[in-house]
Amino acid sequence: MHNQNMSDIIEAYLKKVLGQDEQVEIRRSEMADRFNCVPSQINYVINTRFTVQQGYLVESKRGGGGYIRIIKVKLLDEAEMLDMMIDIIGKKISQKNAYSIIERLFESEMLIKREANIMLAVMEKSLLNSSGADENELRARLLIAFLNNLKYE
C-alpha cells in the first residue's frame, strides 16, 4: 500500500463501495478522519476522479447534516450515453477530460483497445496545438465527430 498515494487509496475505497451499491453517501469530515487526511483531500478526489465524464454524478448538501452523494450513472443505451457525452463536451474540452471520455467508452466496451488508442493519439496537445487554432475547440470538434460516428454505425 506504500506505492499508492492517498488520493488513489480514497478513490479505490469509494469505488469498492460503489461496486456493491449504485451510490454512496459520505461526510467529508468522517472520510478525512477515516483516512487521516485533510477534508480538502476528499474534495480533490471527488472533483477529479468522480466526474460525469467518468460516469458519476455528485450531489452535495452543505451544513451540519451535510453530505456528499456519489452516484454511478447507468444509462439506458449507448446512444443516450453518446448524446450525454456530446452535451458535456460542448464547444471546448481539455486533453484530460477528452481522455476520461475515451477511457469511459473503452470501459463500457463501446471501443476496442485499438480504436481507443487511435482516439487518444488524435487528442494529443502536441498534435492539436501546432495547427494555430484553439486546441480545446479543435479537440471538441474531433471528439464529437468520433462520438457521432459511433452513434450511427
Which pLDDT score, from 0 to 100, does residue 55 have?
A: 77
Cα-based distances in Å from 114 to 7, 8, 26, 53: 29, 27, 38, 20
Read off the pLDDT of residues 69-108 as tens digits, 9 standing for 90 and up. 898 876 556 777 788 888 889 999 989 899 989 998 898 8
Domain boundaries of the chain, sorted by first residue? 6-72, 78-151
By the 10 Å C-beta count (0-12 exposed, 13-18 middle, 19+ buried), 101 is classed as: buried
Which pLDDT score, from 0 to 100, does residue 79 have?
A: 78
Q: Is 74 strand, coil or helix?
A: coil
Q: How many whole angstroms separate alpha carbon 26 and alpha carbon 16?
A: 14
- Of 3.90.79.10, 3.30.565.10, 1.10.1200.150, 2.40.50.140, which CATH number belongs to 78-151? 1.10.1200.150
Which pLDDT score, from 0 to 100, does residue 112 have?
A: 92
Which pLDDT score, from 0 to 100, does residue 152 have?
A: 64
pLDDT band at residue 119 under the 50/70/90 scheme = very high
